[in-house]
Chain A
Amino acid sequence: MSQEIYERIRGNPKFQALVSKRNRFSIVMITLILVAYYGYIVLIAFDKALLATKLSAGGVTSIGIPLGLGVILFTIVLTWIYVARANSEFDPEAEAIIKESQQ
């Protein structure tokens, strides 16, 4: 790959925009997963009683169980959201930038 193409991509404002958009998105997603996981752990460390509360009067299932399964599902869903956006939005933009640089 010639240095000229790199220079053109570097000078393209669309490239800078793509990089900062992707970084922003990654940071938001990482923050969400950190909050979900550590929120759950901190809740366990400091308020076990809350997690042990029953979902319904007379039932046995505690709040902690749907919450925990929720963290697992949240992890999976979050990953797919990132992949979907990257595949449908970031990739075509990156391709367009490369194309422009080769003209």
Chain B
Amino acid sequence: MKTFAKLSHAVVAIALASVAGLTFAAGADLGQTQQQATNWTAISMFAIFVGATLWITKWAASKTKTAADFYTAGGGITGFQNGLAIAGDYMSAASFLGISGLVFGSGFDGLIFSIGWLVGWPVITFLMAERLRNLGKFTFADVASYRFAQGPLRSFAATGTLVVVAFYLIAQMVGAGQLIKVLFGLEYIYAVVLVGIIMMMYVLFGGMTATTWVQIIKAVMLLCGATFMAVAVLFQFGFSPEALFAKAVEVHAKGDAIMAPGGLITDPISAISVGLALMFGTAGLPHVLMRFFTVPNAKEARKSVAWATTWIGYFYILTFIIGFGAIVMLPLDPAYYVDGDLALGLKGGGNMAAVHLANAVGGNLFLGFISAVAFATILAVVAGLTLSGASAVSHDLYASVWRRGNADSKTELRVSKLTTLALGVIAVLLGIIFEKQNVAFMVMLAFTIACSANFPVLFMSVLWKNCTTRGAVAGGTVGLILSVVLTVVSPGVWEAALGNPKGSALFPYASASMFSMTAAFLVIWIVSLLDNSEQAKKERALYPNQLIRSETGVGAAAASSH
């Protein structure tokens, strides 16, 4: 017991102090955890959440009759609602527990980390949101393939979607399994199966309508819970951040160092590369892009991102205050620490700072609430991912490529439901296979692929008139392969996850995106310029019409009536 505690303490210390921005690249990861005593309050609260959301799913099911309802909730979501749903999609358990844990461990560095996860949103606003809504119907492939050969482009886009969804899903499923051990005191396998089944029920029966409301409810609960904690912390210090920081510096083992940047960024190339992945990767995440088709027009699409940015930014400010609150309040009660010894670290690991703080400021009932919210968070994210994976298969691969656009809505809907079922089973299996693996890099890999494969293709097809099918598919494929290969031979995977000796990684930086994204853009550019086929000429001739539609919305699919 004691050796394990020491070991996990050492693991946290290594993770926080890791070199060359590795932690920065890895994403807030929940890591391996140790099972705690069964927490019935938390389990009951979670059961209430599941009950309520399944009741909503039942209502949503009555409204989900066509493929359009399934993919886009009939297009009737408002900008404000969609903003909350996007925030619910994006604010993961890892960012809530991981960032507050990072602040608890090293103060200031947590702030640097959270800023990176926010700056992708303005990019989507300025470049993508309204154009996506004006050109697309159900998936981002609709937009990217607007004037291109449907077969090759949609096959590529569906691959890009499924790969991103797969890595993201693994990270979420393993995170769920680790979380259930500390939050509810249940076994890993329960979490994976539970998440798989509940998520399948949301998506299968309620489609996008149910998924949207699960995400909205989760976002509101998480924002309310986090606000309560932050206010409770600030209240103790007369709402003076200076007083809070002063006390934190006084009690923290690192003293005044928590007010300054620490080991998070040491190598500028890695920092820039990671920044690129976060900034442009967000604009290439299929489950996020898909949300822009649920609103009626470009105006609401813009409003959704602005609201999403507001809520996510506000949330990161809260996690910063929560982390500092944990620094000053947890040492007052040694019961939060392993064997009651402050030097041995928090029970359940450094990521549990926010959870213990919930107990400190709101008692056992509030602890149950926060635990239930943290776990419910995973459900909402996983449902969104599955829905976008299912739509890539049914709308892009089945209806558009295989049936060449001749599939009726009913069959398409049946294919998406079958795919949802398959993806649910695959997610559970992946969760079981990867239980003991280090999956810290997977979310970052998903972002790297999104920014090196999906984003360049989307960007060039919409904004560059000379782009052709060949160019887009060649460049996107190069970006996809390069981001996977370079990530595998980077220190974070080659050494940390695969256990090869230190210094043996062929690629020295924390993120591949600076190279893979550049390569994708270059290849799209060169191959398109060299492409003189008849098809290419036709595609270039179609650009003016595409531009008119993307800029003015003329002829855009009226969301409620496709």
Task: Report whether B271 and A45 are in contact in the complex, using a CB–CB cutoff of 8 Å.
Answer: yes
Q: Kindly state whether residue B501 has any CB partner on chain A within 8 Å.
A: no
Q: Complex: how many Å from CA A95 to CA B556?
A: 13
Q: Complex: how many Å from CA A29 to CA B242?
A: 33
Measured CB to CB, the closest approach of chain A to B223, in angstroms, equals 14
Task: Report whether A19 and B317 are in contact in the complex, using a CB–CB cutoff of 8 Å.
Answer: no
Task: Report whether B119 and A33 are in contact in the complex, using a CB–CB cutoff of 8 Å.
Answer: yes
Q: Complex: how many Å from CA A53 to CA B298?
A: 45
Interface bits A1-37 vs B (CB < 8 Å: 1, else 0): 1010110011000010011001000100110011001
Q: Complex: how many Å from CA A65 to CA B245?
A: 10
Measured CB to CB, the closest approach of chain A to B261, in angstroms, equals 5
Task: Report whether B126 and A30 are in contact in the complex, using a CB–CB cutoff of 8 Å.
Answer: yes
Which residues of B lie under 8 Å from residue A60 when comparing CB positions?
242, 245-246, 249, 256, 259
Our count of residue pairs bridging A and B at CB distance below 8 angstroms stands at 156
How many residues belonging to B are interface residues under a CB distance threshold of 8 Å? Answer: 55
Task: Report whether B306 and A80 are in contact in the complex, using a CB–CB cutoff of 8 Å.
Answer: yes
Q: Binding site of A, secondary structure by majority: helix, strand, loop or mixed?
A: helix
Given contacts A41-B275, A60-B249, A72-B316, contact A94 B552 (CB under 8 A): yes
Q: Kindly state whether residue B409 has any CB partner on chain A within 8 Å.
A: no
Task: Report whether A97 and B306 are in contact in the complex, using a CB–CB cutoff of 8 Å.
Answer: no
Residues of B in contact with A (beta carbons under 8 Å apart): 108, 111-112, 114-116, 118-119, 121-123, 125-127, 130, 241-242, 245-246, 249, 256, 259-261, 264-268, 271-272, 275, 279, 298-299, 302-303, 305-306, 309-310, 313, 316-317, 320, 544-545, 547-549, 551-555
How many residues belonging to A are interface residues under a CB distance threshold of 8 Å? Answer: 52
Given contacts A19-B551, A33-B122, A44-B271, 15 further A-B contacts (CB under 8 A): A37-B116, A37-B275, A40-B115, A42-B268, A51-B260, A61-B241, A64-B260, A64-B261, A69-B111, A72-B313, A76-B310, A79-B309, A80-B306, A82-B125, A87-B303
Which residues of B lie under 8 Å from residue A33 when comparing CB positions?
119, 122-123, 126
Most buried by A among B265, B317, B549, B553: B265
Shortest Cβ-Cβ A-B pairs, 4 listed: A52-B260, A1-B555, A94-B552, A68-B111
Which residues of A lie under 8 Å from residue B305 when comparing CB positions?
79, 83
Task: Report whether A41 and B265 are in contact in the complex, using a CB–CB cutoff of 8 Å.
Answer: yes
Which residues of A lie under 8 Å from residue B260 when comparing CB positions?
48, 51-52, 62, 64
Which residues of B lie under 8 Å from residue A9 when comparing CB positions?
548, 552, 554
Q: Complex: how many Å from CA A86 to CA B298?
A: 10
